[in-house]
Amino acid sequence: MRQRNTVSIPDIQDLSTLAEQIREAHRAVQAAGVTALHRALDAGDALSAAQNKISAGNWKTWLCDNCFLSVRTALLYQQLARHREQIEAEIERATHLSLRAARRLITKPRSKIKKKAKSQLTLLDCWKRAAGEERTALLDHIGVDGIRKAGSLAFYRALVARLRIEKIDASPDATITNLVCKALSHMASADQTTGAVADSNINEALNSLRAVLKKLGAIERTYHDLSIGFVGKAKARRAA
């Protein structure tokens, strides 16, 4: 990055000359017609040369005191001067070019900026903006295998666990079966332990059985309506 130097005694004459050049160019911009743009380019070059000799903190004050024009106008002249080649090429092609037209020439239309911003949207942004039916259509298009391949192992495990819970919640029979199995599991653990651990397992088993009674009451049934069956083949026990 180029460092700007503060005003020093040897530079006073040069800055004075530059200030006079800027004033004359600025007056010419205000008064001229056809040559206004050329004068603005010259003013921009002189402004940039002067700014390189003055510290950033003193620039606006020096500009106001010596050149009698606003910072906004100075920035416009400098912007035009930085695109001198482009502007002069357009002048040669179109003969006459106003200040306003030159500024439009070097400024990108807002519509193009918006289109560029839209093109930088991520997949996550598109997902958030999509409607429910659009998300459904996308997932149907990707398919189960596509989702399994793209998703992480943690995502797949969480999905399976969620589906299992939803299946149990949707089916009273599955919920009751799950609670009974849970109660029996805690009772089996209680038989293999002693003391506080056994008492804790017994309490958990009782809580599961109470939940069974509550679930039966919700569907207007009692424990007399329960039946126990086996699913699948019995697992072979390993020999001791």
Rounded to whole angstroms, the Cα distance separating 164 from 157 reads 11
Rounded to whole angstroms, the Cα distance separating 237 from 36 reads 100
| Alpha helices for 130-240 (secondary structure H) | 132-150, 153-170, 172-191, 195-218
Residue at token pair 């800055």:
15
pLDDT in tens, 17-26: 888 888 888 7
Residue 12, CA distances (Å) to 7, 61, 152, 176 in order: 7, 15, 69, 94
pLDDT of residue 187: 87
The predicted model scores a pTM of 0.38
State what percent of residues in the chain have pLDDT above 70: 78
For the record, the structure tokens of 113 come out as 């900026």
Domain boundaries, the chain: 9-107, 152-225
**Nearest CA-CA partner of 66 in 91, 47, 44, 40:** 47
Coil, helix or strand for 34?
A: coil
Average pLDDT, the chain: 78
9 or 194: which leads in pLDDT = 194
pLDDT in tens, 123-182: 888 888 888 888 888 888 888 888 878 878 888 788 777 777 666 556 677 778 888 888
Handedness of CA 145, 151, 152, 157 (dihedral sign): negative
pLDDT of residue 162: 78
